Amino acid sequence: MNHQGTKRIETARLVLRPMTMEDAPAMYQNWASQEEVTRYLRRPTHESEEVTRRVLQSWVESYGEKNFYQWGIAWRENPGEVLGTISVVEQDDRVGLLHIGYCIGKAFWGQGITSEAFQGILPYLFEEVGALRIEAQHDPRNPRSGHVMESCGLTYEGTFRQRDWNNQGICDASMYALLASDYWKQTQD
């Protein structure tokens, strides 16, 4: 793959951008401190804004790495306030694999924001980075996450029993993926 790092991407309603330390208050307030939001994540709920600052500092320091992809999601009209994140959480260059994870504040659920953000990074990851497979998974107890994957054209591949863990403990993992060949076929239709 031709890794290029986290670059700014705009969609119809959103800006996907590298995060800065100035995003700490919004990140903490909008999602990192909300147990209902972090329930199915691998990261614990942040107990203070200082925890958020430490996490954010590690991200800011990683933006110089070409294989680091971590976008803050914001409205185009207000790009200074992040609503959530979308990122590559795992990757394997041997097979051109990028595994996507995302999180958005509860106040923004049900507005199509996560689907729009996911669809917004697909062209970049397939066309410029050269991914061959983009995948994502969710705990079956969180079906809304699966709806996001389906709305972005990913195909359900199966549910693996006790395959993962999150803040609920060991859990099943429902896997979805989109192959580059399918992506290119969709763009030609």
Q: What CATH number has the domain bearing residue 67?
A: 3.40.630.30
Neighbours of 184 (CB within 10 A): 11
Query: What does each C-alpha distance from 34 to 49, 113, 168, 174 come to in angstroms?
Result: 12, 18, 14, 24
Question: What's residue 130's pLDDT?
Answer: 98
Return the CA Rg of the chain. Answer: 16
Flag whether 189 is in a domain.
Answer: no
**Cβ burial, residue 64 (10 Å; 0-12/13-18/19+):** exposed
Q: Which residue bears the tokens 């990683």?
A: 62
The answer to whether the Cα torsion of 132, 88, 65, 166 is positive or negative is negative
Q: How many domains does the chain divide into?
A: 1
Question: What's residue 189's pLDDT?
Answer: 73
Flag whether 172 is in a domain.
Answer: no
Flag whether 187 is in a domain.
Answer: no
Question: What's residue 77's pLDDT?
Answer: 95
Question: What's residue 161's pLDDT?
Answer: 96
Question: What's residue 78's pLDDT?
Answer: 93
Flag whether 115 is in a domain.
Answer: yes
Question: What's residue 67's pLDDT?
Answer: 98
Question: What's residue 168's pLDDT?
Answer: 86
Q: Which residue bears the tokens 């998974």?
A: 137
Q: Which residue positions in the chain have pLDDT lower than 50?
A: none
Flag whether 76 is in a domain.
Answer: yes
- Whether the CB-CB separation of 16 and 10 falls below 8 Å is answered with yes
Task: Give the three-class secondary structure for 144.
Answer: helix
The domain of 76 spans: 9-135
Cβ-proximal residues to 103 (8 Å cutoff; 6+ apart), any chain: 31, 37, 38, 41, 84, 85
Flag whether 60 is in a domain.
Answer: yes
